[in-house]
Amino acid sequence: MGIKVQLKIIKSDKKFADVAGNKEPIEEISEIVDYLKNPKRYEEAGARMPRGILLGGPPGTGKTLLAKATAGEANVPFYFVSASSFVELFVGMGAKRVRQVISEARKNSPAIVFIDELDAIGRTRGSGIGGGHDEREQTLNQLLVEMDGIKENSGLLFIAATNRTDVLDPALTRPGRFDRVITVGLPDIKEREEILKLHAKGKRFSSDVIFSNIAKRTPGFSGAQLENVINESVLLTVRERSQVITLEIIDEAIDRVMSGPAKKSRTITKEELTSVAYHEAGHAVVGIKVPGGNKVQKITIIPRGQAGGYNLMMPEQEKYNYSKKELLATIASFMGGRAAEEIIYGEDNISTGASDDINKATSIARRMVTEFGMSDLGPIKYHEESGSPFLGKTLATSSSISNQISHEIDLEVRKIILEAKNIAIKVINENRTLLELIKTLLLEKETIISEEIDYIAQNIQLPPKQEIIKDKEQEIDLESLISMTEKQEENKV
């Protein structure tokens, strides 16, 4: 019976210069590179270098690329293996494969053994269906034994990557094994700009493409998603037979990465489209007028994925801490769509379009109550005990909260949501003209960007409602509105 594992031996040509962002992780790993180049020097100095480095963080943040760059900088062989390939149906195969990989790497040390998706074999022992004797646990035990058996400063380094550091067996991260844990997080705005510029090399862009502005539009994007934005832009450029990548093409690429391709062929009645326009305009009005809320970047009524339209709202600057006022403003902006529907159509004719908004608003409100101490229940953390790591810590949870406290939490969440909704209703009622104007422009142009929204909200003195829209079915564009406003100003003079 063969014991060959899917082992890839790579002579990596990647360097740290190929890794945009990730400044801190690179700094942490740089000394490891020097160790791989000169292991004897560290041994003579009496230093013990880590046997293993664990790279944790969300998917697509560059963990594998960082490991390859480490091997490239050190100019050592790079052994790539997926943790899931160790385990098969036959008992004992996983342990044999671990021995095979490490034996091969020892022959060529200094070298790097990279184990991708470590959680496939590294979850906490004793939690599997087969108790302590399943194949996965035997494989993990063998890995631990092999790591313990490696001579210090031998030049053999283990690097592992996982998205779930929280479910790993504690024995993996004790000193002498994966004793250096490095978090490779999502890039901030400056790092996103660096990543975009890296992947944009060799491609032609129009003069209006400013990467710092694109970075502002992509908060929460991973490095892989940003690479995909550039790739989608190139594909769209070829499809449209354009000579350069324009800002419009990049906007479409971002939308594709976020929500999928536009469903322009979907048949939508005029009444439903108008309802969607009012809904998205409601989000925009609340976002513009409520202090502390996120800035409206883009509104569209073009269907994508399961959404009939969407409203891209982001903070002016990237933030890591939020005040209670800011969170309440964010919830109010989420409730702006439902508030607009109630005002225009009445409570009996509200639509299902607010489903995702309600979900997001409820999630924030619940965290305000149970995690942030921003309710009348006080600064107390309420939580549920996690279930089995084998089940992903999502099943078999047990609550440590009494039924009474759980009920009080629900009441506090409801109070926050209703307070935010009332703010949204009040703001929209006070700005009906702006609501109608944004709705009308959406029906005309389908998509409005932040510059147009800012110009409308700040620089145009809005004419009376009846002069903007004489008929609800009438459609006008931004240029017509500007011309109308200028004439009114001339008449005043």
20-40 pLDDT, tens digit each: 888 889 988 888 888 888 878
* Residue 139 is assigned to a ligand binding site: no
CA 30 to chain centre: 27
Predicted local distance difference test score (pLDDT) of residue 153: 62
Predicted local distance difference test score (pLDDT) of residue 474: 39
pTM of the model: 0.76
Q: Is 117 helix (H, G, I), strand (E, B) or coil?
A: coil
Neighbours of 358 (CB within 10 A): 15
> Looking at the predicted structure, is the pLDDT value of residue 439 above 60?
yes
* Residue 58 is assigned to a ligand binding site: yes
Ordered alpha helix ranges (H), 240-293: 247-259, 270-289
* Residue 133 is assigned to a ligand binding site: no
- 121 within 8 A of 83, measured Cβ to Cβ: yes
Distance (Å, whole) CA 171 – CA 126: 13
Residues 187, 191, 195, 200, Cα dihedral to 10°: 140
Distance (Å, whole) CA 219 – CA 136: 37
- For the chain, list the domains and their CATH numbers: 8-183 (3.40.50.300), 189-259 (1.10.8.60), 270-480 (1.20.58.760)
**Given the residues 137, 191, 280, 436, the one annotated as active site:** 280
Predicted local distance difference test score (pLDDT) of residue 176: 83
Predicted local distance difference test score (pLDDT) of residue 422: 96
Predicted local distance difference test score (pLDDT) of residue 292: 85
pLDDT for 236-255, tens place per residue?
A: 999 999 999 999 999 989 98
Task: Let me know if 280 is a catalytic residue.
Answer: yes
- Look at 419 and 125; give whichever has higher pLDDT: 419
Predicted local distance difference test score (pLDDT) of residue 96: 83
* Residue 218 is assigned to a ligand binding site: no
- Look at 308 and 456; give whichever has higher pLDDT: 456
- 78 within 8 A of 68, measured Cβ to Cβ: yes
Ordered alpha helix ranges (H), 128-269: 135-148, 189-200, 211-216, 223-239, 247-259
Distance (Å, whole) CA 376 – CA 369: 8
Reading the block at residue 226, the tokens are: 């940003």
> Looking at the predicted structure, is the pLDDT value of residue 6 above 80?
no
pLDDT for 479-489, tens place per residue?
A: 555 455 445 44
Determine the longest span between alpha carbons in the chain, in angstroms.
94
Reading the block at residue 89, the tokens are: 């149906």
> Looking at the predicted structure, is the pLDDT value of residue 61 above 50?
yes
* Residue 57 is assigned to a ligand binding site: yes
Predicted local distance difference test score (pLDDT) of residue 387: 47
Bond prior to 110 in cis (omega within 30° of 0) = yes
Burial (0-12, 13-18, 19+ Cβ within 10 Å), 291: exposed
Q: What is the mean pLDDT of residues 161-177?
A: 89
Q: What is the mean pLDDT of residues 37-47?
A: 81
Q: How confident is the model at residue 401 (pLDDT cuts 50, 70, 90)?
A: confident
What are the two backbone dihedrals, phi and then psi, of residue 99, each rounded to the nearest 5 degrees? -60, -40
Q: What is the mean pLDDT of residues 375-399?
A: 63
Burial (0-12, 13-18, 19+ Cβ within 10 Å), 470: exposed
28: Cβ contacts below 8 Å, ≥ 6 apart:
180, 182
> Looking at the predicted structure, is the pLDDT value of residue 393 above 80?
no
Reading the block at residue 465, the tokens are: 């409602």
Contacts made by residues 101-106, CB under 8 angstroms, sequence distance 24+: 101/5, 101/7, 102/146, 102/150, 102/156, 104/7, 104/9, 104/79, 105/77, 105/79, 105/156, 106/150, 106/154, 106/156
Burial (0-12, 13-18, 19+ Cβ within 10 Å), 331: buried
Predicted local distance difference test score (pLDDT) of residue 90: 56
Q: β-strands 156-162, 111-116: how paired?
A: parallel
CA 355 to chain centre: 20
Q: Is 65 left (phi over 0), alpha (psi -120 to 50) or beta?
A: alpha
Distance (Å, whole) CA 280 – CA 296: 11
> Looking at the predicted structure, is the pLDDT value of residue 175 above 50?
yes
Q: How confident is the model at residue 135 (pLDDT cuts 50, 70, 90)?
A: confident
Q: What is the DSSP letter of 457?
A: I
Q: Which of 359, 360, 292, 370 is nearest to 326 (CA)?
A: 292
What are the two backbone dihedrals, phi and then psi, of residue 81, each rounded to the nearest 5 degrees? -145, 140
- Look at 98 and 426; give whichever has higher pLDDT: 426
* Residue 279 is assigned to a ligand binding site: yes
* Residue 303 is assigned to a ligand binding site: no
Q: What is the mean pLDDT of residues 109-122?
A: 88
Q: Which of 157, 152, 143 is nearest to 54 (CA)?
A: 157
